[in-house]
């Protein structure tokens, strides 16, 4: 056993730093909060190297007196609380006095500050937590914090960071959250030396538009509640404007962005029957509560929140949202289902529907492959050609007699499965055919969401999509798998891809499945399409080739069967094993 020893300060400062400053975006969040706490009305942010090389925040807030500036870098040095009781009436974002200390421990930091109207300001520079210089400087009023070479002395942390695109999307996400919660403050953002976002001081509806984009913002209904215990401003998607992503759900309590499962559950309860086909509400909500009625002191830098009266808040949010959604059933479509012009005709390769099947059986039945598959796990042994097509019933199901019994196929589910597996193979072989759109399809997104999609560009191109940013808040889809002929499908898919970013490995699989299932579903013959014998036979023979022919990619059953034995049993034939 080793003996207990006190950790030297340079060790524990770095450990503490890891909790507060996890990545450039969490650093930016702390710096923005400091500027907001200082009462800034204009905040200018710059980032270089996706925040690794530089994060710089300049504000026009109340600043500090010269002798305070070096103090700001010390641990537990704060101007925001003095005693334990102050925590119960906390009005500021900061209170731990840890952020600057932590940032300084893992970077080269400078902080320059002056009070408005002061004759002189003060600048302190530090590296790896040690003050390198301290002296007077000009006094324009306000504070500038520059953090360079983040994690330069903690290489393990640096390695933990993700791609530039990912870190940039996080940075922009933090800025957008601050901008949403503080519409009266002007924010500007420069990334890699280029001015990239500018939110002038505005009222909340205008700020919502500026951050979310016109299209998304105009699909929201406002709910405003003003009670002594709680003030709430909530903007939620009209039923017909719900989107295929959870990305646009943000909760703020006293202007602080929080992850509140409770609030989210209240939202989903209220949205219940209004959600169709995997759509989610966009929801931007601002709660103002008595600081004593909730606790954010759960974990440094984390966004968990606990409410004292969970039930009340849950009921309030879910009943208000439910009421608003019922009222909002106004016919105002988010976007029209316009067709996208495509550069040339859909290649036959893609089975664009039953007409294609009729012209050309795209999937050729391969006897050798069939034999190989005969014994594949799950494949019924008796399921062998030749098949006799008996007909279509309900204009949805195809009946066949096979060597060993009766087969019933759900034509849509079956074809979805076939297309899905073909697409999976095409991707594996790098043979997915993509088609250039005649005109790029614009998809308007918040800047952070756009960055997220760009971080996925490789995956997108493997799926047959080509996208490029157009300005900071519009994504242009330049090419897509040829089966995505409709604008709304493409937009849906772009939205869906965003949700998958948080957990890259698992999500990658999920997205691929999701996207392919969608492609396959769109391209497949629908139930109620009449189908002839030739087409029906192509379908069943191809399904036989599938790795999992028994269900569509959504898990719905594609095939029912009744073996000869079972038939005999059901008709109580002599010699048949009784049921
Ligand atoms: P906290 O915000 O929890 O107090 P920080 O380490 O973030 O701790 O900041 C320490 C102190 O430095 C703050 O309490 C505040 O007095 C001062 N400070 C930091 N940033 C600014 C700023 N942008 N303008 C004015 N004062 C600041
Ligand atoms: Mg702070």
Q: How far apart are CA 172 and CA 249, in angstroms?
A: 16
Q: 90: how many CB neighbours lie within 10 A of its CB?
A: 18
CA terminus-to-terminus distance, the chain: 70
Instruction: Give the model's pLDDT for residue 523.
Output: 59
Q: For residue 93, which atom of ligand 1 is closest to its CA?
A: 2
Cα–Cα separations (whole angstroms), residue 487 to 237, 441, 484 = 20, 7, 8
pLDDT at 524: 60
Alpha helix stretches (DSSP H) within 152-236: 155-160, 164-181, 204-212, 214-218
Cβ–Cβ contacts within 10 Å for residue 418, how many? 26
What is the block-wise mean pLDDT of the chain (579 residues), using blocks of 10 residues?
A: 77 71 94 96 98 98 96 85 73 82 95 96 96 95 97 91 91 96 97 93 95 92 88 92 88 92 90 81 94 73 80 89 79 33 30 25 28 38 74 90 85 79 70 78 89 80 83 88 65 70 48 60 64 84 74 69 82 71
Distance 72 CA to ligand 1 centre (A): 6
What is the Cα–Cα distance from 242 to 281, expressed in whole angstroms?
5
Q: Give the pLDDT score at 124.
A: 97
The H or E element containing residue 509 is helix 504-523
Helix, coil or strand: residue 482: coil
Closest ligand 1 atom to the C-alpha of 95? 3
What does the pLDDT read at residue 122?
Answer: 97
Pick from 287, 225, 230, 228: nearest CA to 253: 287
Ligand 1 surroundings by CB, under 6 angstroms? 30, 34-35, 38, 59, 61-64, 72, 77-80, 94-101, 113, 143
Cis before 339 (ω within 30) = no
Helices (H), 106-256: 155-160, 164-181, 204-212, 214-218
539 C-alpha vs ligand 1 centroid, how far in Å?
68
User: Which atom of ligand 1 is least distant from the CA of 30?
Assistant: 7
Rounded to the nearest angstrom, the gap between the alpha carbon of residue 301 and the centroid of all alpha carbons in its chain is 21
Identify the residue whose C-alpha is closest to ligand 1 atom 8: 97
For residue 525, what is the DSSP state?
P
Atom 7 of ligand 1, residue of closest alpha carbon: 99
With b meaning 16 or more CB within 10 Å and e meaning fewer, what string describes 172-197? bbbbbbbbbbbbebbbbbbbeeeebb
In 3D space, the residue among 233, 228, 180 whose CA is nearest the CA of residue 206 turns out to be 180
Q: Would you say 39 and 62 are in contact if contact means Cβ atoms under 8 Å apart? A: yes
Q: Which atom of ligand 1 is nearest to the CA of 81?
A: 4
What does the alpha-carbon distance between residue 251 and residue 262 come to, in Å, rounded to a whole number?
11
517 Cα–ligand 1 center, Å? 51
Interhelix angle 164-181/447-455, rounded to 10 degrees, is 160
CA–CA separation, 443 vs 475, rounded Å?
A: 5
The C-alpha atoms of residue 370 and residue 385 are separated, in whole angstroms, by: 9
Alpha carbons 72 and 13: distance in angstroms, whole number: 15
CA of 147 to the centre of ligand 2 (A): 14
**In whole angstroms, what is the distance from residue 138 CA to residue 118 CA?**
9
Residue among 404, 222, 433, 427 at smallest CA distance from 328? 222
**What local confidence, expressed as pLDDT, does residue 130 receive?**
93
Q: Which residue's structure tokens are 């279509």?
A: 392
In this structure, the number of other CB atoms found within 10 A of the CB of residue 141 comes to: 16
Indicate which ligand has the atom closest to the C-alpha of 143.
1
Q: Which of 21, 26, 37 most suits a substitution to test ligand 1, by most atoms within 8 Å of the C-beta?
A: 37
Check residue 280 and report its DSSP letter.
B
Residue 99 confidence (pLDDT): 92
User: Model pTM?
Assistant: 0.71
224 φψ region: left (φ > 0), alpha (ψ -120 to 50), beta (else): beta
Return the pLDDT at 356: 25
Could you give the 3-state DSSP secondary structure of residue 109?
Answer: strand
Q: Which ligand is nearest to the CA of 73?
A: 1
Bridge partners (DSSP) listed for residue 147: 55, 109
Spatial CA neighbour of 451 closest among 467, 438, 464, 466: 467
């Amino acid at each position: 056993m080793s003996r207990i020893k006190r950790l030297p300060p340079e060790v524990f400062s770095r450990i503490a730093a890891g909790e507060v400053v996890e990545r450039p975006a969490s650093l930016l969040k702390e710096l923005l909060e400091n500027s907001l706490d200082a009462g800034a009305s204009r905040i200018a942010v710059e980032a270089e190297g996706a925040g690794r090389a530089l994060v710089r925040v300049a504000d026009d807030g109340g600043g500090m007196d010269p002798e305070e500036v070096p103090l700001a870098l010390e641990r537990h040095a704060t101007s925001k609380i003095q005693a334990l009781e102050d925590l119960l009436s906390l009005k500021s974002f900061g209170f731990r006095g840890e952020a600057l200390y932590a940032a300084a421990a893992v970077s080269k930091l400078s902080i320059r500050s002056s009070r408005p109207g002061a004759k002189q300001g003060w600048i302190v520079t530090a590296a790896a937590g040690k003050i390198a210089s301290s002296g007077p400087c000009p006094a324009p009023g306000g504070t500038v914090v520059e953090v360079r070479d983040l994690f330069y002395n903690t290489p393990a942390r640096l390695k933990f960071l993700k791609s530039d695109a990912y870190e940039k999307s996080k940075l922009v996400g933090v800025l957008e959250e601050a901008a949403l919660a503080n519409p009266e403050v002007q924010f500007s953002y420069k990334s890699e030396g280029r001015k990239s976002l500018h939110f002038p001081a505005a009222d909340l509806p205008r700020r919502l538009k500026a951050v979310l984009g016109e299209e998304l913002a105009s699909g929201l209904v406002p709910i405003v509640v003003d009670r002594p215990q709680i003030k709430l401003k909530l903007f939620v998607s009209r039923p017909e404007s719900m989107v295929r992503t959870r990305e646009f759900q943000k909760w703020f309590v006293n202007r602080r962005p929080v992850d509140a499962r409770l609030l989210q559950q209240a939202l989903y309860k209220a949205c219940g029957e209004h959600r169709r086909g995997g759509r989610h509400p966009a929801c931007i909500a601002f709660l103002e509560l008595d600081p004593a009625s909730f606790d954010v002191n759960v974990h440094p830098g984390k966004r968990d929140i606990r409410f004292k009266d969970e039930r009340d808040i849950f009921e309030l949010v879910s009943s208000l949202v439910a009421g608003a959604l019922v009222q909002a059933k106004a016919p105002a479509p988010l976007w029209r289902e316009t067709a996208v012009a495509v550069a040339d005709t859909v290649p036959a390769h893609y089975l664009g529907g039953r007409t294609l099947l009729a012209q050309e059986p795209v999937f050729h039945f391969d006897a050798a492959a069939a034999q190989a598959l005969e014994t594949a796990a799950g494949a019924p042994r008796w399921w062998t050609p030749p098949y006799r097509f008996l007909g279509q019933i309900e204009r949805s199901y195809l009946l066949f007699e096979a060597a060993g019994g009766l087969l019933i196929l759900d034509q849509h589910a079956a074809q979805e499965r076939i297309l899905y597996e073909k697409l999976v193979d095409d991707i594996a072989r790098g043979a997915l055919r993509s088609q250039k759109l005649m005109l790029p399809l614009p998809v308007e997104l918040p800047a952070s969401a756009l960055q997220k999609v760009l971080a996925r560009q490789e995956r997108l191109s493997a799926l047959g999509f080509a996208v490029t940013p157009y300005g900071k808040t519009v994504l242009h889809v330049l090419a897509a798998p040829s089966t995505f002929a409709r604008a709304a499908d493409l937009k849906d898919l772009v939205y869906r891809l965003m949700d998958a970013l948080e957990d890259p490995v698992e999500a990658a699989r999920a997205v691929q499945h999701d996207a392919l299932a969608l492609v396959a579903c769109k391209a497949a013959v629908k139930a109620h399409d009449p189908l002839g014998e030739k087409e029906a036979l192509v379908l069943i023979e191809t399904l036989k080739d599938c790795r999992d022919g028994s269900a569509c990619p959504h898990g719905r059953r594609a095939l029912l069967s009744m073996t000869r034995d079972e038939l005999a049993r059901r008709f109580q034939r002599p010699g048949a094993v009784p049921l």
